[in-house]
Amino acid sequence: MLHRLNKKRIVIIILALSLTVIIVRGIFFAFLPLPQFLENLSGEKMKPKDILFDEVAFISVFDVKTNRVFEVGLEEYVFCATAAEMPASYELEAIKAQALAARTYAFTHMRELYADSTPCKKGLSDVCTDSGCCQSYKSIESLFEKWGSNASRYAKKVYEAVKVTKGEIVSYQGEPILALFHASSGGVTENSENVFSSALPYLVSVDSPNEEFHTHFADTKVLSAEYVVEAINTSFLEANLRKAELSKQIKVLERYISGRVKTVQIGNSTCTGRDLRNTLGLNSANFSIEFDSDKVIISTIGFGHGVGMSQAGANAMAQAGSNYIQILTHYYQSTEVTSIYPKYDSISPP
């Protein structure tokens, strides 16, 4: 009799433990994002070999690391450029918007597709992998390595963004635009003529709210007075800055409506806020300067040149329910989404 009771107790304990495991697993999966939940449920993980596109056109790319030119399908290039330029943790609609910006840029550089193309001069290719010249680019394998344990989930998201927007670009009056973008505007984007050489009707200043949670929304840089003097005097020979009088010699003279600095007094000379940003390696041209003994404290808002689409703003818009067309037509005013392939119809903004 005692033996039978012990057996029953053991069975009850085993059942209780099994039920506990099931409940714990259920709670764990309940808190996972839906794509990750489905992936764990199905057990299917995306691998580099699964990133395949039905390619229609090909683009030549100069690899600045190997000094070699290689050819890749346009949609695969868009996947690699999009994932290299925007965090894959961002919302799907924001990543779609980034995919169109990447594809638009690539299209305007492709001899094969666009008659008025402006190919990269490096290696006689259409584009290169230098972000300072063209767009950032990472191979599929390097992206998976970079994403680590999130590789499958992130790859699926970027793959979907590129796949469902195949062939789509941003156009203004029938022509592809200069699809400039940056990490964070700090709340307001900038007119193109205030940063670059010309005014473009679709690259105008717009509000970009809810960016406060971006990593580089606000930043502070503390530099030694010696460094500032040397850096500015080297770049601007007429400045003649002196450490002892630095607080009197550097002064912001004028700002644009966006808050970005237009002109700065630097000793016996003046420069643009953009030039001082480049000289001192600042996150943006929206900065303020303070002096403390032998230190120069520079606070910045935003990250990047501020023209065109703010990636942080695009993500905020996506989180608020905007789709990629609404995001693009907000940052690129009076534009529309069209296709580079005749078999796709034009898509008008909703």
Kindly state whether residues 178 and 117 are assigned to the same domain. Answer: yes
Kindly state whether residues 262 and 166 are assigned to the same domain. Answer: no
- Residues 56, 59, 60: CA angle, nearest 5 degrees: 150
User: What confidence score (pLDDT) does residue 36 get?
Assistant: 47
User: What confidence score (pLDDT) does residue 43 get?
Assistant: 55
DSSP string, 232-282: HHHH-TT----GGGHHHHEEEEEE-TTS-EEEEEETTEEEEHHHHHHHHT-
How far is residue 327's CA from residue 310's CA, in Å, rounded to a whole number? 10
Kindly state whether residues 76 and 158 are assigned to the same domain. Answer: yes
- Please give the average per-residue pLDDT across 254-275, as a whole number: 98
Kindly state whether residues 54 and 131 are assigned to the same domain. Answer: yes
| Model confidence, pTM | 0.84
How far is residue 268's CA from residue 68's CA, in Å, rounded to a whole number? 46
pLDDT at 46 over 60: yes
Q: Which residue, among 257, 277, 273, has the nearest Cα to 206 in the 3D structure?
A: 257
Kindly state whether residues 174 and 320 are assigned to the same domain. Answer: yes
pLDDT averaged over every residue in the chain: 89
pLDDT at 213 over 90: no
Kindly give, in sequence order, each residue whose CB lies less than 8 Å from that of residue 236, ignoring residues fewer than 6 positions away.
266, 267, 269, 271, 279
In a domain, 16, yes or no: no
Kindly give, in sequence order, each residue whose CB lies less than 8 Å from that of residue 282, ignoring residues fewer than 6 positions away.
221, 276, 298, 300
- Please give the average per-residue pLDDT across 66-87, as a whole number: 97
In a domain, 61, yes or no: yes
Count how many domains the chain has: 2
User: What confidence score (pLDDT) does residue 344 get?
Assistant: 41
In a domain, 67, yes or no: yes
Query: 91 near 318, Cβ under 8 Å?
Result: yes
Kindly state whether residues 230 and 138 are assigned to the same domain. Answer: no
* Tens-digit pLDDT profile for residues 135-178: 999 999 999 999 999 999 999 999 999 999 999 999 999 999 99
Pull the structure tokens for residue 229. Answer: 């003097």
Q: By mean pLDDT, which of 55-59, 142-146, 306-310 is the weakest?
A: 55-59
| 3-class state of residue 318 by DSSP | helix
pLDDT confidence band for 112 (50 / 70 / 90): confident
User: What confidence score (pLDDT) does residue 20 get?
Assistant: 52
pLDDT confidence band for 5 (50 / 70 / 90): very low
Q: Which residue, among 110, 137, 13, has the nearest Cα to 56 in the 3D structure?
A: 110
* Tens-digit pLDDT profile for residues 90-99: 999 999 999 9
Kindly state whether residues 292 and 316 are assigned to the same domain. Answer: no
- Please give the average per-residue pLDDT across 111-126, as a whole number: 90
Residue range(s) defining the domain that contains residue 64:
48-185+306-339
Query: 277 near 284, Cβ under 8 Å?
Result: yes
- Residues 109, 110, 114: CA angle, nearest 5 degrees: 100
Q: Which residue, among 344, 349, 54, 335, has the nearest Cα to 177 in the 3D structure?
A: 335
Pull the structure tokens for residue 333. Answer: 């005013």
In a domain, 20, yes or no: no
* Tens-digit pLDDT profile for residues 219-249: 999 999 999 999 999 999 999 999 999 999 9
Kindly state whether residues 146 and 55 are assigned to the same domain. Answer: yes
In a domain, 54, yes or no: yes
Kindly state whether residues 291 and 332 are assigned to the same domain. Answer: no
Hunting for tokens 């970005």 — which residue is that?
260
Q: By mean pLDDT, which of 3-7, 10-14, 254-258, 344-348 is the weakest?
A: 344-348
User: What confidence score (pLDDT) does residue 9 get?
Assistant: 60
* Tens-digit pLDDT profile for residues 15-40: 555 555 445 454 444 444 444 444 44
In a domain, 149, yes or no: yes
User: What confidence score (pLDDT) does residue 200 get?
Assistant: 98
